[in-house]
Amino acid sequence: MMSVSVRALLVRGMLAGLAAGVLALITAYLLGEPHVDSAIAFEEAHSHDHGGGGEELVSRTMQATGGLATGILVYGVALGGIAALAFCVALGRVGRFGPRATAALLALGAFTAVFLVPFVKYPANPPAVGDPDTLDQRTALFFLMIALSVLLVIGAVILGKRLAPRLGNWNATVAAGAALAVAIGLAYAFLPAGDNVPEGFPATLLWEFRLSALAVQLVLWTGFGLVFGELAERLVVPKAARERQPDAAVTPAA
Rounded-to-10 torsion of CA 165, 167, 173, 175: -130
Q: Say if pTM beats, i.e. exceeds, 0.85.
A: no
pLDDT in tens, 111-137: 999 999 999 988 887 776 666 666 777
Residue 51 main-chain phi, psi, to 5 deg? 70, 25
pLDDT at 46: 67
Q: What is the chain's mean pLDDT, rounded?
A: 81
- Residue 15: band (very low, low, confident or very high) from pLDDT cuts 50, 70, 90: very high
With beta carbons less than 8 A apart as the criterion, state whether 39 and 203 touch.
no
What's at 15, amino acid-wise?
A: L
Read out DSSP for 68-120?
Answer: HHHHHHHHHHHHHHHHHHHHHHHTTTSSS--HHHHHHHHHHHHIIIIIIHHHH
Please give the share of the chain, as a percent, with pLDDT higher than 70: 81
In the structure, how many helices (H) and strands (E) does the chain have?
Answer: 10, 0
Whether 57 shows a pLDDT value over 80: the answer reads: no
Sign, Cα dihedral of 153, 155, 156, 157: positive
- Residue 74: band (very low, low, confident or very high) from pLDDT cuts 50, 70, 90: very high
pLDDT at 203: 80
pLDDT at 142: 87
pLDDT at 252: 53
pLDDT at 131: 64
pLDDT at 56: 62
pLDDT in tens, 153-211: 889 888 888 888 888 878 888 998 999 999 999 999 998 876 667 677 778 888 888 89
Whether 1 shows a pLDDT value over 50: the answer reads: no
- Residue 51: band (very low, low, confident or very high) from pLDDT cuts 50, 70, 90: very low
- Residue 3: band (very low, low, confident or very high) from pLDDT cuts 50, 70, 90: low
pLDDT at 241: 53
* Across 42-46, 97-101, 159-163, 175-179, least confident range: 42-46
Sign, Cα dihedral of 227, 231, 233, 236: negative
